[in-house]
Structure 1
Amino acid sequence: MQVDEESMKPVLNRLRRAQGQLAAVITMIESGRDCKDVVTQLAAVSRALDRAGFKIVAGGMRQCLAEGSDTPPMTEEELEKLFLTLA
């Protein structure tokens, strides 16, 4: 899959941030931190993942999925359905 490297940098940054936040959540649970703190950090991980997904969709998911395949580009309805799976 060919992806524009420059447009994927922000996505990768968000995913790396989410990865760090998730590691922190695991550490918090293992160390017995307060439930409220854990849930707050878990919500931050979820938002970071959502933002990465939205960025991918906004950055041209149609080309990303259609490239190298024999199928036609995605319709607007298909893109909307894909976008809503992230919501």
Structure 2
Amino acid sequence: MQAEGSNDPSKRCDDCNNEVSDDLHMSQKHVIQPDKKALLNRLSRIGGQVNGVAQMVENDRYCVDILTQISAIRSALDSVSTQLLNHHVQGCVRRAVVEDGGEEVIGELLMLIKKMR
């Protein structure tokens, strides 16, 4: 994608259309999350839970109580991961399949699913 006033498309990021000075930025992908505020709120709450667990350890709380909280944190993170994966498939993957068959993004998706297990 090329912006007004720029005759050199290699100086612009295809994803965000910002001017770039190196190839590293060109490989980074930028996606605006549809529920960004809610997602950030959930992640903030999870961060609070993690801090709470650290405090529990500091206060020598019972192991089962700490492990129960860790389980809740993992569940909350899994929920966030599932939401992000859903948005990725419905947006990025769908768009890539329509535009160019999506072979690269499907391979990326399969690797991601393996990592998430």
In structure 2, distance between residues paired with 1:84 and 1:54: 13
1:74 equivalenced with 2:105 (yes/no): yes
1:46 to 48, 65, 74: 74
Aligned length: 79
Deviation at 1:28, TM superposition (A): 0.2
> Does the alignment pair 1:7 with 2:65?
no
2:79 and 2:115 mapped to 1: Cα distance? 13
For structure 2, the 5+ residue unaligned runs are 1-29, 97-101
Decide whether the 8 Å contact of 1:21 with 1:41 is kept in 2: yes
Identify if the C-alpha distance between structure 1 residues 10 and 85 changes in structure 2 by more than 3 Å, giving closer, same or farther.
farther
- Tell me how far apart the structure 2 counterparts of residues 10 and 84 of structure 1 sit (CA, whole Å): 26
**Greater C-alpha Rg:** 2
One-letter identity of the residue aligned with 1:85:
K
- 1:9 shift after superposition: 3.1
TM-score (norm 1): 0.72
Contact persistence 1:54–1:83 (CA under 8 A): no
CA distance in 2, matches of 1:50, 1:37: 20
Relative to 1, partners in 2 of residues 1:53 and 1:20: Cα closer, same or farther, differing over 3 Å?
Answer: same
Higher helix share: 1
Letter in 1 for 2:58: E
Structure 1 gap segments, 5+ residues each: 67-71
Question: Which of structures 1 and 2 has the larger relative contact order (alpha carbons within 8 angstroms, sep 6+)?
Answer: 1
Structure-1 residue corresponding to 2:53: 25
The correspondence for 1:63, drawn from 74, 92, 108, is 92
